[in-house]
Amino acid sequence: MTRTCTKCKNEIPDTEQLGPVNEKYPTCNKCWAEWKEYQIMVMNELKLDMSMADHRKLLKKHEKIFVGVMSPEGEVIDYSNEDNRKPDEPQPGA
């Protein structure tokens, strides 16, 4: 089964081992490494305290936005709809 990275839209080779989180929404290791760096910036900029549940939830939201499975408005993007698989084209009503 071919997997496609939700961030860069490139195919993920079957030989590439993914971590447990990026199994939920397939993200190649290169994009996941970019998220790990960006995650630190998000935590610092927003002064997030990972001991607080609300802060962890906010970081998880930023993670989903970064990898492309959620829009910045908070809507979960349905990639089963072929129209949503074309991020460079304007969406109707946008």
* pLDDT of amino acid 9: 87
Residue 18 contacts residue 50 (beta carbons within 8 Å): no
Structural domains of the chain, with CATH = 3-13+22-72 (1.10.3880)
Ordered DSSP codes for the chain = --EE-TTT-PEEPTTS---SHHHHTT--HHHHHHHHHHHHHHHHHTT--TTSHHHHHHHHHHHHHHHTSB-TTSPBP-TTSGGGG-TTSPPTT-
Confidence label for 36 from pLDDT (cuts 50, 70 and 90)? very high
Does the pLDDT at position 37 exceed 90?
Answer: yes
Residue 68 pLDDT:
83
pTM of the model: 0.69
- How do residues 52-89 score in pLDDT, each as one tens digit? 888 898 899 889 888 888 777 766 555 555 565 554 55
